[in-house]
Chain A
Amino acid sequence: MPALDIRDLKVSFGKTDVLRGVSLAVEPRETLGIVGESGCGKSMTGLAAMRLLPPGGKITAGRILLGETDLRSLSESKMRHARGSEIAMIFQDPFTSLNPMMRVGAQIAEAIVLHQNVGKATAQTRAIEMLKAVGVPSPDSAARKFPHQLSGGQRQRVMIGIAFSCHPKVLIADEPTTALDVTLQAQILALLKELQEREGTAVLLISHDIGVIGSVSDRICVFYAGRVIEEGPRDRLLKNPRHPYTRGLLGSLPGEAERLVSIPGQPPDFSTLGRDCSFSTRCAYRFDKCVTEPTLLPLGGDHRASCWLDTFPQDAPVAKTEAAE
């Protein structure tokens, strides 16, 4: 059974739907990579699952199943208890998510006291053990430091320590290495993997960096305009992408070619989306079926894409241009 199972989730701000029916599931010990460009809804999905949407945002439909519990049905106080102990989240910038006025040891201990029914002294000892587990050098003295006294990499280690301190079943990691240099990124990805394997955590890894997604994910979801437009096992999806948007994204990565393939145009404005496929205005393969938006259609082997091309290849025209600007 999946550790987290999101079904047909819709989120809106006022009249604008920013998540338009997102379904995804992640098993214990599995890493599900979520990739897409700014504004596609990948972070919003994480925040909705934590029930931490920014002001004005509302979940209007769908289910967020954590095991057998629908998080939407929990009272705020029950949800507060689930946050941290059952489902935890880490963010891109540890400097803004840590409390600048509180020593880092106390910040880890705070979570432990809240969720684990132990005294302050025990919590402090466990906090130091946690700092050691996440690889912060000299954990005893580090526990007494404030966030600004640590380097960026060490701050992210502290965040990860807080997230894992209460042994959550699901961890949502939203761009956890984006603010870090590449050698520190490699250290943090290795640390996340190590803790995940030890704890059996299900990880939802949100990133715009396809390289990061490709190196740590087991399965991948590609987001576009508030929906999952392609999902599948890592190698299958990245080696044989089927949705024109996924192909465009992979084509825009610098490789051997002299010129990069870029996707023409801009992502759509959510308030103007109609019934037609949300990618159709930028799609080189558009044909008459694209006036309705397809659901995720099976392609075999757990690979699915929200595109008519593969289901009706005989109707599809030959691509007009690949490298349009």
Chain B
Amino acid sequence: MSVVLDIVGASIVYQVPGGAIRAVDGVSLELKASKTLAVVGESGCGKTTLAKGILGLEQLARGEIRVRGEAVTANLKGLAKRVGIVWQDPYASLDPRWRVGRSIAEPLVVNRENGVSIESRVDEVMRQVGLEPSMKHRFPHQLSGGQRQRVAIARALALNPPLVLCDEPTAALDLSIRAQILNLLKDLQLDLACAYLYISHDLTTVRFIADDVAVMYLGRVVEVGPTERIFSNPRHPYTRALLASAPTLEKLGRLPEVLPGEIPDPREIFLGCRFKTRCPNRQQRCDTEDPGVSIEDSREYYCHFPVD
């Protein structure tokens, strides 16, 4: 199966007063056609910055990001044909003064393709996402939240890109609408064979939609592998803590487990493991030695003293 997205040792650094923030620090990931890779982690872990790197919106300090074998920075203008993006809040990502049909058509107009009728492509992609083509004359405020997110998905798919980034696409939606959008994303993937890079902090959603999951903490991937394996048997203590702190209906009447502390100031220079300040398994070695990769049944993790 062909590799759609290939990230090799990518770093993105922000210069800020008082130092530099390595928001993405040596991340390597691979995503194949028709597959979904979820990137999970808390605010400030670098997941959205990574998405900006894939979209060519942030310069890489080191490493490379390739979509279909071509570096994103090599051909920024043609990138829209290779990467689509669905943001969290469709009300903010759609122009409120444009009829939604115009928003969906915009990538087709900009990347003019000969012999393709823009009108008929808009109708087609609207049907694919479950919208009546007659709705293209409406404004975003005349649609419901779920319909707006369908418009945003139609726009991302207009050029039929092999890779679609989804940055918290259901976080702003109510539960019953969220279910509709998740089903839609799954159906579209079956029909179009596109790959999703699915960024989310919502673990139950990730378990439903993703084939593989990468857990990020402070700019680094700490564990990556097949979703079921990671959810049923996490090896990195942060992955375990993340799963244990999410309240679910299996744990009725029980408070979720507490991981003490907060994410440290990212400007600090880190010696040793980045998770050491909050880690229950911390030992002397973690203070000085950055853990390297351990590989174990197609899963990778970075920890000296993993969870059993």
Taking Cβ atoms with an 8 Å cutoff, the residues of A that contact B are: 37-38, 151-154, 181-187, 189-190, 193, 208-212, 214-216, 234-235, 238-239, 248-255, 259-263, 266, 325
User: Are A211 and B176 in contact, CB atoms less than 8 angstroms apart?
Assistant: no
- Cα of A193 to Cα of B255 in the assembled complex, Å: 9
Given A259-B183, A260-B208, verify A235-B174 contact (CB < 8 Å): no
**Mostly helix, strand, loop or mixed at chain A's interface?**
helix
At the interface, yes or no: B256 with Cβ under 8 Å from chain A? yes
Taking Cβ atoms with an 8 Å cutoff, the residues of B that contact A are: 42-43, 130, 144-146, 174-180, 182-183, 186, 201, 203-205, 207-209, 241-242, 245-249, 251-260, 262
- Cα of A177 to Cα of B271 in the assembled complex, Å: 32
Most buried by A among B43, B175, B177, B262: B175
Given A151-B262, A189-B256, A215-B255, verify A260-B183 contact (CB < 8 Å): yes
User: Are A208 and B175 in contact, CB atoms less than 8 angstroms apart?
Assistant: yes
Inside 8 A of A38's CB, which chain B residues have their CB? 145, 174
- Cα of A305 to Cα of B54 in the assembled complex, Å: 50
User: Are A260 and B182 in contact, CB atoms less than 8 angstroms apart?
Assistant: yes
Query: Distance in Å from the Cβ of B131 to the closest Cβ of chain A?
Result: 12
Inside 8 A of B180's CB, which chain A residues have their CB? 262, 325
User: Are B253 and A186 in contact, CB atoms less than 8 angstroms apart?
Assistant: no
Question: Which are the 8 A-B pairs with shortest beta-carbon distances?
Answer: A254-B208, A252-B179, A211-B247, A181-B42, A262-B179, A186-B245, A260-B179, A215-B247
A263 to chain B: closest residue by CB: B176
Most buried by B among A151, A153, A183, A193: A183
Most buried by A among B130, B146, B258: B258
Given A185-B245, A266-B144, verify A215-B176 contact (CB < 8 Å): no
User: Are B252 and A234 in contact, CB atoms less than 8 angstroms apart?
Assistant: yes
Given A183-B242, A190-B255, A325-B183, verify A214-B247 contact (CB < 8 Å): yes
User: Are A183 and B42 in contact, CB atoms less than 8 angstroms apart?
Assistant: yes
Inside 8 A of B43's CB, which chain A residues have their CB? 152, 181
- Cα of A37 to Cα of B262 in the assembled complex, Å: 30
Given A211-B247, A325-B183, verify A249-B253 contact (CB < 8 Å): no
Most buried by A among B177, B179, B203: B179
A selection of 28 A-B contacts at a CB cut-off of 8 Å is: A37-B174, A152-B43, A182-B203, A182-B242, A185-B247, A186-B245, A186-B256, A186-B258, A189-B247, A189-B255, A208-B174, A210-B175, A211-B249, A214-B247, A214-B248, A214-B253, A216-B255, A234-B252, A234-B253, A235-B252, A238-B252, A250-B249, A251-B179, A253-B175, A254-B208, A254-B209, A260-B208, A263-B179
